[in-house]
Amino acid sequence: MFTYTFLCPSRTTLSLVKEPLRPISICASSKSPSPQVLTFWQWLKEEGIVSAKTPVKPAIVQEGLGLIALRDIAKNDVVLEVPRRLWINPDAAAASEVGSLCSGLKPWVSVALFLIKERLKEDSLWRVYFDILPQFTNSTIFWSENELAELQGTQLLNTTLNVKEYVQNEFSKVKEIILSDENLFPNAVTFDDFLWAFGVLRSRAFSRLRGQNLVMIPGVDLINHSSSVTTEDHAHEINGPAGLFSWDLLFSLRSPIDVKAGEQVYIQYGLKKSNAELALDYGFIESSTLNRDTYTMTLEMPDSDPFYADKLEIAESNGLEKTAYFDISMDNSIPPEMLKYLRLVVLEGADGFFLESVFRNTIWGILDSPISRDNEELVCRVVREICKSALSGYRTSNEEDMKLMARGNLDSRFEMAIKIRLAEKKILEQVDKVFAERELRLNQLEYYQERRLKELAPCKQQ
C-alpha cells in the first residue's frame, strides 16, 4: 500500500567554506600563525592582493586560522580582492597541464585533478597556498569507521556513505585517465588523494559569482563562519586593477557586518544549511538562534498502488514527484505540504472518488484538511511507523546521550555525533507525539463529508 525510506538526499552544492573545527571566537588570539601562513601572506603581497591598506591579517583563532581586523571595518567595506588569474576553477584546470585530460569530465573532477597535480609541483603558482591547505577537515567524509559508528541510525551517516561512494565511483572512472599519462602523474594517485581534493573543494569552494559554479579563492578562504552573521551578502564580482597596468575580474570580499579592530571577521556559510549539512561540508555544527536541527522525511508512492498514475499526476501538477522530501525542524509544526502528500498517497477504498476527473482541479485544496477518518488514521499510522522504525536504528537512548554530554571534554567528532543523533531522535519523538495525539482526536476532527454538508446547508434553507 505505502512505502517510505529514511535516506536524506546527499547535498553536493559547493559553497565558500573553511574548516572551522570549534565554536566561534569573538576576538583574536595573540598567537602568531605558522611560517607557512606568513609565507602565503607574503605571496599575496607580492601578487598585489595585500598591501598597507588591507584591513585584515591572518591569525590563530579558536577555529584554527582566521582573519583579524587591523582597524575598524564598516559593513560592506572591502576585506580582500583577488584577481581572476589566481582563482582555481575549471578554466584554470583546462589551461593547465591536466587540461588535455579534462574533456568530458565533471567540472569538479577536472579541478580535483588540477589540485592533485599542482599540489605535487614545486614550481606551482599556488605552491605556498597548497602548503597551508589542511590534509583533512572534521567533515564526516574523513571520519574513521569507529567514528562513523557513532552516527549509526542517523541520516548523516547515510548521506556521508553515499557521498563517499559517489566519490569512489568518480575516482574509478578517472583512474584510467590518470594512468594514461605517466608523465603528468608519475606517482600513483590514490583514492585518498582524490578524496582530499573533493574535501578541499567541498569545504573551500565558492559558487555565488556570475558564471562561476566552482571556484577557490586563495586568501578569502581563511575567513570563518559565525551564526551572528544573518546575511549571505559578502561576495561580489567586479572589474578592477589586477596589477600595475592591467584590469581583470576581481573577487571582492566585503564584510557583512561592522567589525572592531582586533576582532575576527566572519561571514555566513549558509542560512538554510542544517547541522547535518554543516557537519558534512565543513566539519562543525552550531547551536544558534537558527534552527539547524532537521530531519528529512522521505516519502514515496509505490508503483503497485492501483491509483498510482492518478496520484502521480496530481502530485506532479502541484510541484511534487513520486518521491518527496520534507524537512522537519525541532519545535516547528509539520509541513502542510507533507500532510497533503500523505493524504494523497494513502488514499484508497471508499475515498477513491476524490481521484475522479471532477475533483482534479480542486483535490489539492481539499487535501488541506482531513478527508475521512480512515484516511487520517492511515496517515497517523504510517508516520508513527516511520518514526518507530527510524528510532530503532540508533545505538543509544536520549538518556545515554545526555549523560555522555554531561561528562564534558569530549572529542570534537564524538561530541558532534552525539548532538546529531540526539537532535534526530528528539525530532522523531516530537513527530511521533504529534501524530499519537492526533490519533486520539480522530473522532473529533471534521472530515470532507461534514464540511460539504455545512457548505450545502445554506443552499437548502434558501
Q: Minimal CA–CA distance to 211: which of 257, 153, 251, 166?
A: 251
**CA 188, CA 174: separation in Å to the nearest integer?**
13
DSSP 279-301: HHHTS----SSS---EEEEEEE-
Whether residue 205 contacts residue 215, with contact meaning beta carbons closer than 8 Å, is answered with yes
> Can 295 be counted among the known catalytic residues?
no
**CA 384, CA 392: separation in Å to the nearest integer?**
12
DSSP annotation of 123 reads T
**CA 415, CA 286: separation in Å to the nearest integer?**
12
**CA 235, CA 48: separation in Å to the nearest integer?**
19
Q: List all residues 6 or more positions away from 304 whose beta carbon is below 8 Å from its beta carbon.
A: none
Reduced DSSP (H G I as helix, E B as strand, rest coil) percent helix, strand, coil of the chain, to 5? 45, 15, 40
DSSP 16-68: ------SS--SB--SPPPPHHHHHHHHHHHHTTS--TT--EEEEEETTEEEEE
Q: What is the dihedral of CA 81, 87, 91, 96, to 10 degrees?
A: 140
Distance of CA 223 to the CA centre of its chain: 18
Burial classification of residue 74, based on how many CB atoms lie within 10 Å of its CB (0-12 exposed, 13-18 middle, 19 or more buried): exposed
Q: List all residues 6 or more positions away from 344 whose beta carbon is below 8 Å from its beta carbon.
A: 311, 314, 315, 363, 367
Q: Strand pairing partners for 249?
A: 239
Q: What is the dihedral of CA 125, 122, 190, 116, to 10 degrees?
A: 0
**CA 58, CA 81: separation in Å to the nearest integer?**
15
**CA 96, CA 114: separation in Å to the nearest integer?**
8
**CA 79, CA 191: separation in Å to the nearest integer?**
36
Active-site annotation holder among 4, 129, 269, 394: 269
**CA 298, CA 293: separation in Å to the nearest integer?**
16
The count of other CB atoms within 10 Å of the CB of residue 346 is: 23
Distances (CA, A) of 310 to 5, 316, 373: 22, 10, 22
The set of catalytic residues is: 269
